[in-house]
A and B are shown apart, each in its own frame.
Chain A
Amino acid sequence: MKVLLRNPRREQYVTGPKSVNALLDALELPREAHLVIRNGTLVPGDAALADDDVVEIRPVISGGC
Chain B
Amino acid sequence: MVAPASKCRVCKEPAIIDLPRHNANFCAEHFLELCRRQVVKAIEKFDMLSKDDRVLVAVSGGKDSLAVWDILVELGYQADGLYIGLGIGEYSDVSGEYAKSFADERGLRLITIDLRSEYGYDIPTAAKATRRVPCSACGTSKRHLFDKAALDGGYTVLVTGHNLDDEAAVLFGNTLRWDVEYLSRQLPVLPARNGFPKKVKPLIRLTEREMAAWCIVRGIDYLVDECPMAVGNKHLAYKAALNAIEQQSSGAKASFYLNFLDNMAPLLAERSAAATDELGTCTSCGAPTTSDLCAFCRTAEKARAHEPVPVELVLSKGRRRR
Chain B CB within 10 A, most for which of A19, A33, A41: A33
- Give the residue name and chain of the A residue nearest to B212 (CB): A60
Indicate with 1 or 0, residue by residue over A11-48, a CB within 8 angstroms of chain B CB atoms.
Answer: 00000011100100000001111110100011111111
Contact A65 B138 (CB under 8 A): yes
Query: Nearest chain-B residue to A62 (Cβ)?
Result: B62
Q: Which residues of B contact A47 (CB under 8 A)?
A: 5-6
Given known contacts A58-B224, A63-B226, A31 and B247 CB-to-CB distance under 8 angstroms: yes
| Interface locus among B150-158, B190-198, B230-238, B296-304 | B230-238
Residue of B whose beta carbon sits closest to that of A18? B2
Bound complex: CA A33 to CA B217 (Å) = 17
Q: Are A30 and B243 CB-contacts (below 8 A) given A35-B216, A64-B166?
A: yes
Beta-carbon contact of A7 and B226 below 8 Å: yes
CA–CA, A45 and B240, complex, Å: 19
Question: Contacts of B236 on A, CB cut-off 8 Å?
Answer: 61, 63
Residues B246 and A64 in contact, CB atoms below 8 Å apart = no
For A63, the closest partner residue in chain B by CB is B230
Q: Could you tell me if A60 and B211 are in contact, using CB atoms closer than 8 angstroms?
A: yes
Q: Does residue B205 face the partner (Cβ distance < 8 Å to A)?
A: no
| A46 engages B18 (CB within 8 Å) | yes
Q: Are B208 and A62 in contact, CB atoms less than 8 angstroms apart?
A: yes
Query: Whole-angstrom distance from the CB of A34 to the nearest CB of chain B?
Result: 8
For B20-64 the 0/1 string (1 means CB < 8 A from A) is: 100001001000000000000000000000000000000000111
A10 near B: Cβ within 8 Å?
no
**Is the Cβ of A63 less than 8 Å from the Cβ of B216?**
no
6 sample A-B contacts, Cβ–Cβ < 8 Å, listed by A number: A30-B240, A33-B239, A44-B17, A46-B18, A59-B224, A63-B236
Rank and list the top 10 A-B pairs by shortest CB-CB distance, nearest first: A63-B230, A65-B135, A48-B2, A60-B212, A64-B166, A44-B18, A42-B16, A32-B243, A47-B5, A45-B18
Binding site for B on A (CB under 8 A): 6-7, 17-19, 22, 30-35, 37, 41-49, 58-65
